[in-house]
Amino acid sequence: MYLCRKAIGDMTEAEEGALSGWSRFWHRVHMTVCGHCRACRRQVTEARALAREIPPDPVPPDVEESAMRAFRARGKSM
Amino acid sequence: MADDAPSSESLRDADLVGRLRAGDETAFRELVRGMHRALSRVALAFVREPSAAEEVVQETWVAVVAQIDRFEQRSSLRTWIGSILVNRAKTRAVRDKRSVPFSSLTSEDGEPVEPERFGSAGIWSVPPRRWDSAPESLALRKEAREAIERELARLPESQRTVVVLRDLEGWSSEEVCNVLGLSETNQRVLLHRGRMRLRAALERYHSGDGA
């Protein structure tokens, strides 16, 4: 039987298109009928959306400066 | 015919590489800023020390500038820059005697969902707690995001790296596997475990259990 624990375990593989044949079929069927697993999938989607909103750290000034110095030096040598 | 058409990503890369070769400083600065989180995260996964990771990123940009004319676009620009960084990070890790192959970190964590939440038959015994995710105030959304950010910082190194690259930076699975030297399967396992832990943190936040 393809049950919740298996469906949750396969969630990322399903999304990545990595499930094959019967697994893909049973995963789809399970997600259609199981509200708890669908809720879990929605929550993963929500967590990912929130994660995307995390602002990136600024580049440390010395890293950016050294990169820009190298870039300008290359321009001069061309 | 359509299969031979260059992807929008490779067109973007070609345009960007052209601008870099022509000495466009704005394009280079944007690239440095845009890739910083991804590069410092990957560097940290290998060298572990933030100051060493910063140096590796710094050296990587110098190497990118020196080699940009040799970039042949056989991979994406991100993959190429990421691979330069990984080579440097590995060298640095060996020098600092901190060398841990990334692939050896892939079994750092166990079950993606607490096994006790399923009954013996494999059906939820403690199903996901529901919450109303409809219109939230900006303040509440920020709080939820901070809960996710805290959990992200607590993830095992390998999961955090894969989640940051895939979900925060939008890298493809192919790019992540190529740069980190992971198999597709291992990459998916890490991504799955990381995502499930972020979900659990969000569930705890909405339940008022803290996260």
Query: What does the pLDDT read at residue B132?
Result: 75
SS3 state of residue B118: strand
Residue by residue, DSSP assigns A16-74 as TT---HHHHHHHHHHHHH-HHHHHHHHHHHHHHHHHHTSPPPPPPHHHHHHHHHHHHHH
Name the closest residue on chain B to residue A17, using Cα atoms. B188
Rounded Cα distance between A46 and A26, Å, is 24
Rounded Cα distance between B16 and B66, Å, is 16
Query: What does the pLDDT read at residue B158?
Result: 92
pLDDT band for B7, please (50, 70, 90 cuts): confident
Chain B, 84 to 103: residues with Cβ < 8 Å from chain A are none
pLDDT band for A62, please (50, 70, 90 cuts): very high
Query: What does the pLDDT read at residue A46?
Result: 95
Min mean pLDDT across A40-44, B99-103, B179-183, B207-211 is at: B99-103
Query: Chain A partners of B122 at a C-beta cutoff of 8 Å?
Result: 1, 3-6
Query: What does the pLDDT read at residue B207?
Result: 87
Chain B, 164 to 203: residues with Cβ < 8 Å from chain A are 167-168, 173, 184, 188, 191-192, 195-196, 198-199, 201-203
Q: What's the mean pLDDT in A30-50?
A: 96
Q: What's the mean pLDDT in B185-189?
A: 95
SS3 state of residue B201: helix
pLDDT tens readout for residues B95-123: 887 766 666 665 556 667 777 899 988 99
Query: What does the pLDDT read at residue B103?
Result: 61
Query: What does the pLDDT read at residue B70?
Result: 94
Rounded Cα distance between B174 and B75, Å, is 10
pLDDT tens readout for residues B129-161: 888 766 567 888 899 999 999 999 999 999 999
pLDDT band for B1, please (50, 70, 90 cuts): very low
Query: What does the pLDDT read at residue B208?
Result: 84
Q: Is the pLDDT of residue B67 over 70?
A: yes
Q: Is the pLDDT of residue B4 over 90?
A: no
- A44 close to B (CB below 8 A): yes
Q: Is the ipTM, as predicted for this complex, more than 0.95? A: no
C-beta contacts of B170-177 below 8 A and 24+ residues apart: B171/B38, B171/B78, B173/A16, B174/B79, B175/B76, B175/B78, B175/B79, B175/B82
Chain B, 139 to 168: residues with Cβ < 8 Å from chain A are 141, 144-145, 148-149, 152, 163, 167-168
Q: What's the mean pLDDT in B176-193?
A: 95
At B118, phi and psi to the nearest 5? -115, 145
The answer to whether A50 contacts B163, with C-beta atoms less than 8 Å apart, is no
The answer to whether A64 contacts B124, with C-beta atoms less than 8 Å apart, is no
Q: Is the pLDDT of residue B3 over 60?
A: no
The answer to whether A4 contacts B124, with C-beta atoms less than 8 Å apart, is yes
Name the closest residue on chain A to residue B123, using Cα atoms. A4
- B29 close to A (CB below 8 A): yes
